[in-house]
Amino acid sequence: MLDGRIERLADLMRGRSTLVLSGAGISTESGIPDYRGPASAGRGRSPITYQDFVGSERKRQRYWARSFVGWPFMDGREPNGGHFAVAAMESSGNVSGVVTQNVDGLHLEAGSKTVVELHGNLRNVVCLRCGSVEDRHSLQLRLAELNPDFSPLAPEYAPDGDSDVPDELVDSFVVAPCQVCGGVLKPEVVFFGENVPAQTYQRAKEMLEDAEALLVVGSSLTVRSGYRFVVQAKAAEKPVAIVNDGPTRGDADADVKVSGRLGETLPRLAELLL
């Protein structure tokens, strides 16, 4: 039954330039937790909002303490079969590019060439005052120097490089300022409540306009920044396919829906198209 649906998906894509829209579900098999997938049920966790981050020194202290602990785990994640399958389909000409909601950089590590990261990438931080950009590894070293004795035991890792840190440890955490102007540093990602940069969205929109079909992989499409691409594709009468381990907001819009683990279904799809 599953093979039949994958074959239908391959038939839909064959001969069409297809844009891939990816979400957190493609990275869960690399060990990165997500907010809305099947494994996240009952987690009871809410991400920090942009308004909280910029408006509260305490919230920033909490964010960076948790990020300091979570970054080595996040940095150690590697692409899985789903990422490599997408890269292979791009290399073969079946996929025209990738628009991803993820901030882990794993599509690029897997070899995808044309990638728009809608929500940015955790590997950089930016100063909210002067705009200077710093590599996340550099910041990690500075944070370690400022917090030599900061070492929570057995942290529980969460989405987007976050981790649980007891409040009593947060109270003592020293946040590193911008090296250039001493301003506030923020990861170069789009927080909840923050808008996708206009130039980023425009590039992604142009990629969809140039494509002949849309393939959604690993996204529940709950967030409007992703679902609007499905709406635009349907308005342009372009086929929409979805591969996801669980229901999505766009299921009723899909010409083909395949439910299953992406690390298994996407490599099978790539094989059929090569």
The answer to whether 266 and 217 have CB atoms below 8 angstroms apart is yes
**Counted domains in the chain:** 2
Strand partners, 98: 20, 115
pLDDT at 39: 47
Name which of 122, 100, 124, 125 is nearest 110 in CA terms. Answer: 100
Alpha-carbon span 208 to 216, nearest angstrom:
12
**Domain boundary at 160, 189, 218, which?**
189
**Domain boundary at 189, 215, 232, which?**
189
Give the position of tokens 């594709």: 233
Q: Do 63 and 101 fall within a single domain?
A: no
The answer to whether 12 and 241 have CB atoms below 8 angstroms apart is yes
As to burial, measured by CB atoms within 10 angstroms (0-12 exposed, 13-18 middle, 19+ buried), residue 4 is exposed
pLDDT at 103: 95
Q: Do 27 and 115 fall within a single domain?
A: yes
pTM: 0.91
Alpha-carbon span 213 to 12, nearest angstrom:
8
- Residue 38: C-alpha distances to residues 33, 34, 89 (Å): 10, 9, 27
- Looking up residue 24, the CATH number of its domain turns out to be 3.40.50.1220
Average pLDDT over residues 59-76: 94
Q: 44 pLDDT band (50/70/90 cuts)?
A: very low
Q: Do 152 and 254 fall within a single domain?
A: no
Biggest CA-to-CA distance, the chain: 59
Query: Is the four-CA dihedral 82, 90, 75, 65 of positive or negative sign?
Result: negative
Q: Do 87 and 17 fall within a single domain?
A: yes
Model pLDDT for residues 120-162, shown as the tens digit of each residue: 999 999 999 999 999 999 999 999 999 998 876 656 666 666 6
Selecting among 83, 107, 119, 137, the annotated active-site residue is 119
Model pLDDT for residues 217-248, shown as the tens digit of each residue: 999 999 888 999 999 999 999 999 999 999 99
Share of the chain above pLDDT 70, in %: 91
Q: Look at residue 40 and tell me whether its pLDDT is greater than 70.
A: no
Average pLDDT over residues 88-101: 97
Q: Do 150 and 202 fall within a single domain?
A: no
- Annotation says 137 is catalytic: no
Query: Is the four-CA dihedral 181, 186, 189, 195 of positive or negative sign?
Result: negative
Average pLDDT over residues 67-72: 92
Alpha-carbon span 40 to 42, nearest angstrom:
6
Assigned token pair, 169: 């440890």
Q: Look at residue 36 and tell me whether its pLDDT is greater than 90.
A: no
Cα of 135 vs its chain's centroid, Å: 18
Report helix, strand or coil for 86: helix
Catalogue the E-assigned strands of the chain.
18-22, 95-100, 115-117, 120-127, 133-135, 185-189, 213-217, 240-244, 256-259
Domain extent, residue 259, equals 1-32+79-119+195-274
Model pLDDT for residues 153-187, shown as the tens digit of each residue: 656 666 666 677 777 889 999 999 999 999 999 99
pLDDT at 1: 53
Q: Do 199 and 263 fall within a single domain?
A: yes
- Residue 161: C-alpha distances to residues 17, 213, 269 (Å): 33, 32, 30
Q: Do 68 and 183 fall within a single domain?
A: yes
Q: Do 257 and 136 fall within a single domain?
A: no
